[in-house]
Every structure is written in structure tokens, then in C-alpha cells.
Amino acid sequence: MLARAHTFTIEGLHTRHVTVEVDVRTGLPAFTIVGLADAAVREARERVRAAILNSGYEFPARRIVASLAPGDVPKVGAALDLALACALLAASGQLPRERLDGHVLFGELALDGEVRPCRGTLAVAQATRQAGLGRLILAGARAHEARLVEGLDVAPAQRLSSAVRVLCGGEADALLARTPDAVGPSEAWPDLNDVRGQDHAVRALVIAAAGGHNCLLSGPPGTGKTMLAQRIGSILPPLSRTEAIEVTRIRSIAGSVAGGLVGERPWRAPHHSITTAGLIGGARRDSIGEVVLAHNGVLFLDELSEFARPVLEALRQPLEDGRVAIVRARHSTIYPARFMLLAATNPCPCGYAGVGERCRCSEAELARHRRRLSGPLLDRIDLLAQLDHDAGDDLGSSAPIGSARARELVTDARERQAARLREDGVTLNAHMNAAVLRRRVTLDERGEAMLRSARERGMLSARGRHRVLRVARTIADLNASGRVRARDLGSAIALRGDAGLAGKRAA
């Protein structure tokens, strides 16, 4: 007898529909799985056998062939267990075969018949809804995640027997106690008003957060670069629902979501020993890079000059396009990677350039430091937040701005941007391309004159001009100004990102 069940397998961040066909015939007892299954799927035979027997069903002592279609797509992971077991039960007459239609089964089986949650539940739920395949039966622990997809019939099942009951038209298990959707930033972020005596850098950070600009924090050791960067999360607005779903989907596939919607913006701070594959992804077939995990959030690179040069070079595509295309011998995938880059660096190898005469770096060391940072990466950094060494005197002074107030400003500015850019397909100033810039950013006469003289002095390249205009637009948004005034442009020029390295003029 033949039975057919439906499930999905994860491929990068995408899903592939898989039909599990099980045929049970007379012959020598055997259980074979065909259809490019990886080791985890092949091991499903043992799990499925034990789970069926331990749930009180009968495992047919006959010749069993399971085929995973389409046959040319590699299948990974243990999530096909549930579909295999149910198709097997149907094929051996322990379950009406026609009941399998209209259901998607997704889950790993424990030997005692329990259904275990699997990575990528949200992606599978979305695919089920999109393909119109009907009800999704999955582990109870992940039901909340699947419920995020509107209009999808989700039936949680704790055990194989409950799944069979649901298939036969019975009641689904009750939802487990619900973890509340954590939309909105968590309280865990430290507050911006801990940062004293660095008003200038704080302001630059607020501008960066408002426009989603990539920002470089530069300053001598101990001035609070990392401290400032760690507070970015407290001033970014909460994720919108669409963004939250995207983030949850990525986290779910990466296997780091506990259930429910992810509320806070991703914050990824990899150590500088990271490899290119670790940052971008593609080390293994299903490994996801840090830039993808930082999608819709912040990627923080502390001690930027310590990162290997190829690693930094690899950031160019995601910074430019907001996505990474990973092509390997047998698979190619496109991942979304639209993040805000926050980087911190010392102004020179010893860190004390510009602090009296403390810097003892040689010309050659400075040149090496510059070479590490300069070029294509620095070209994509819009803003420089310069931290001051001598700010220590002001540690007792009042904080310029607290996180709550800063977040209000940032949220307002982002709303203004979104309203203005609605027709252009972007939401943040940082993502405006040249054409959008021409359309949306107009300068007064004085501003035009400033830009012209900056170009004539060789201070701004064509790309540099675009960066300055984007930042100027954000500053105007923060000031609730409809036009970009000369003052906004002047601030943007003073904050431009490529002036942060020691010894640049002497070179």
C-alpha cells in the first residue's frame, strides 16, 4: 500500500516542499529511504521505528521504501520524522490514507514518541500558508511561532499519538503556556545617560541611529567607544511587525529562538578573529553568517583594524546591496543582510594619536593601520563619532541625553523619513541611492556652494558627496526640518567618516 505525506525542508533561509511517499510491500523486512537524504534523515529510520512501537502502534515487518520527492533536492535535518512516521502508519493501514492530504507535518520524533521542535518553524509555517496546503501539525513547543502567520491553521501535537488523533479529526493538544510576544525593546539595554563628557560622539551616534547610517567610533583606549556602542540598542526604535517576522524567521532557522516573536533589534558583536565564512555564511550548507543574523539590527565590529583584511572586504556586498549571495559548488542562496554597521577603532596602533605627544607609533605603523581601514570599507561609513580623550574632567557633568529621549527623537526622525521615501521603496536615509538622493534632497544656494568648494578642495569624492547628503538629510529630519539647510550640511561635512585616522595629512 502507498501513502503520501507533506512536509518542508530548509534550504538556506528558504523552504522546499517535500512529499514523503511510503510504500509497504510483502518481502524481506527492510526500511529504505531514497531521495538525497543526509545522515540525519537516514537515521530517521531508527527514530521512526522506536517512536511507532513506543506509541503503541505496529511497525510492519515487511519491505518498506520511503521516497522523498523531489529526488534531486538534498534534504537535511530531522524534521521529516513526523511526516515519515505518519505516512508509514497510513501505508500500513493504521491511519486512513486520505486524511494525510490537507496537512503538513513538521517535527522530529523522540524514541518515546514525543514530537520535538525543529529549526525553521516560522519559515515552514509561512510556506504552508503560501502553498495553501492546509493545516500544519507540529511540536507544541513551537506552536506560538507558527501562529505568527495569520490565517494559518496550526495544530500542536505533543506526541505521535496526538498527531494521529489530529489527522483522524480529533482535537489538537492545548497550546503550551504562552511566552508573550516581546515586541518592543527589552529593558536589558544600558542607558545612554551613563556616557558622560562625550556629547559630540553621543550626538553622532543618535544621528547614525536616526538614519541607519554606518558609523565609526574612533578614540583613544578607555574613552568609552565600546560603552557607547553597547547603548545603540536602547535608542533604536522597536522592530516593526514585518521586520520582527523577518528577524524571527532568521533566528528560528539559525536555531536560537525560544518561541514567539523576537522583539529587540539584533545586536551581533563577533570577535575580531572571525573568518569570512563566519561573517558572511556558507561555511557549511546551512550555516548562517553574522551579517545575516544582524539583519534589521546592528553589526558591531570592535577593534576594526584587528579584523583580517579579507573579512572586511567581504562586507562590501552586504553593505552595498543589503543582501549576500553565497555560491558554493552545490548550492547558491541569497540571504537578506540589511544592517547598520557600527565599528570602533583606535586612531592609531598605540591608540594615543592626537593625545598630546603620547603616540609613539612610527610612520610605517601608521601607514599599516591606515591601509587596514582605508579604502572600500571606510568608503561606506557615513559618520565618524570621535571620542575625546580629555573628556575625563566632565565625568561628573550631567548627561546630554537619556536613552528614552534619544529614542523619541530617532523614532520621530524615522517616521519622517519613511513618509518621505514611501514611493522610493526604502525607509531609511542611509539606503537612498543616487537617483533617490537627487529626487529627495535639495539644497539651498549656500549649501550648493559649500558642496562645490568641498569638491574643489578635494575633500569629497562623488561617493563622499552622497554620504554627506544622506547624513545631512538625517540631521534635517532630526531637527524636524523639511529642507536641508546649510547648517545640516555643515554638520554632515564635519562628521564625515573618512577623517578619523591618524597621520592622514602627513602621508
- Min separation Cβ 389 and other proteins, Å: 7
Single residue of 107, 140, 220, 336 touching other proteins by CB under 8 A: 220
CB 287 within 8 A of CB 277: yes
Which residues is 277 bridged to in the sheet? none
Where does this chain touch other proteins (CB under 8 A) — which range of 3-11, 170-178, 379-387, 433-441?
379-387
End-to-end CA separation in angstroms for the chain: 80
Residues 454-483 that bind other proteins (CB under 8 A): 454, 456-457, 459, 475, 479
Single residue of 199, 313, 379, 412 touching other proteins by CB under 8 A: 199
- Min separation Cβ 241 and other proteins, Å: 34
CB 390 within 8 A of CB 173: no
- Min separation Cβ 393 and other proteins, Å: 8
Q: Considering beta carbons, is residue 226 or 287 the nearer one to other proteins?
A: 226
Where does this chain touch other proteins (CB under 8 A) — which range of 99-107, 404-412, 417-425, 446-454?
446-454
**Exposed e or buried b for every residue in 77-115, given b needs 16+ CB within 10 A?**
bbbbbbbbbbbbbbbbeebebebbeebbbbbbbbeebbb
Give dist(CA 339, CA 212) in Å, integer: 8
Residues 136-195 that bind other proteins (CB under 8 A): none
Give the phi and the psi of residue 35 in degrees, each rounded to 5: 110, 55
Q: Per rule CB under 8 A, is residue 12 in the interface with other proteins? A: no
CB under 8 Å to 365, separation ≥6 — which residues?
Answer: 348, 349
Where does this chain touch other proteins (CB under 8 A) — which range of 7-15, 73-81, 232-240, 453-461?
453-461
Give dist(CA 361, CA 372) in Å, integer: 15
CB 146 within 8 A of CB 138: yes
Where does this chain touch other proteins (CB under 8 A) — which range of 50-58, 67-75, 176-184, 494-502?
494-502
Mask 343-372, x = binds other proteins (CB under 8 A)?
----xx---xxxx-x-x--xxx--x-----
- Min separation Cβ 184 and other proteins, Å: 29
- Min separation Cβ 441 and other proteins, Å: 17
**Binding-site size, other proteins (CB under 8 A):** 56
Mask 396-435, x = binds other proteins (CB under 8 A)?
----------------------------------------
Which residues is 19 bridged to in the sheet? 6, 69
Single residue of 85, 228, 450, 484 touching other proteins by CB under 8 A: 450
Q: Per rule CB under 8 A, is residue 390 in the interface with other proteins? A: yes
Per residue, the 3-state secondary structure of 439-455, as one string, reads HHCCECHHHHHHHHHHH
Within a 13 Å sphere around the CA of 6, how many CA atoms are in the beta-carbon half?
22
Q: Per rule CB under 8 A, is residue 494 in the interface with other proteins? A: yes
Q: Per rule CB under 8 A, is residue 389 in the interface with other proteins? A: yes
Between strands 103-106 and 135-139, the pairing is parallel
Q: Considering beta carbons, is residue 171 or 445 the nearer one to other proteins?
A: 445
- 3 state SS of 190: coil
Instruction: Tell me which H or E stretch contains 33.
Output: strand 30-34
Give dist(CA 202, CA 225) in Å, integer: 10
- Min separation Cβ 388 and other proteins, Å: 4
Q: Considering beta carbons, is residue 21 or 199 the nearer one to other proteins?
A: 199
Which residues is 325 bridged to in the sheet? 334
Q: Per rule CB under 8 A, is residue 486 in the interface with other proteins? A: yes
Where does this chain touch other proteins (CB under 8 A) — which range of 8-16, 83-91, 294-302, 382-390?
382-390
Single residue of 15, 126, 218, 429 touching other proteins by CB under 8 A: 218
CB under 8 Å to 327, separation ≥6 — which residues?
Answer: none
Cα–Cα distances in angstroms (integers) from residue 475 to residues 100, 383, 465, 493, in the given order: 58, 12, 15, 11
Cell numbers for 21: 511517499
For residue 500, how many other CB atoms are within 10 A of its CB?
20
Q: Considering beta carbons, is residue 187 or 393 the nearer one to other proteins?
A: 393
For residue 161, how many other CB atoms are within 10 A of its CB?
17
Where does this chain touch other proteins (CB under 8 A) — which range of 117-125, 155-163, 173-181, 213-221?
213-221
> Contact positions toward other proteins, by CB under 8 A?
197-201, 203, 218-220, 347-348, 352-355, 357, 359, 362-364, 367, 384, 386-391, 394, 449-450, 452-454, 456-457, 459, 475, 479, 486-491, 493-495, 499-500, 502-507
